[in-house]
Amino acid sequence: MQIFVNDKEISIHNGAKVLDVLRAYYTQLDKTLPKKLPIITDAYGNSIAFDGELSKGSHLYILNG
């Protein structure tokens, strides 16, 4: 499925959680996932948990990351 992180498209398996998408995002940037995980929000500015479920086309935004 396609998820967008900071408006960058990420292809990830169905059933992926927020943390899975973060790992994929940082991998695409050739960076390591920070030890102190950033705050993640949805398209409406709501903070979401790292074990949160996603649906196709979700938009996530990394704050302080």
Domains and CATH numbers, the chain: 2-63 (3.10.20.30)
User: Whole-model pTM?
Assistant: 0.88
Helix (H) or strand (E) holding 65: none
pLDDT tens, position by position, 1-58: 999 999 999 999 999 999 999 999 999 999 999 999 999 999 999 999 999 999 999 9
What is the C-alpha separation between 26 and 38, in angstroms, rounded? 12
Give SS3 for 34.
coil
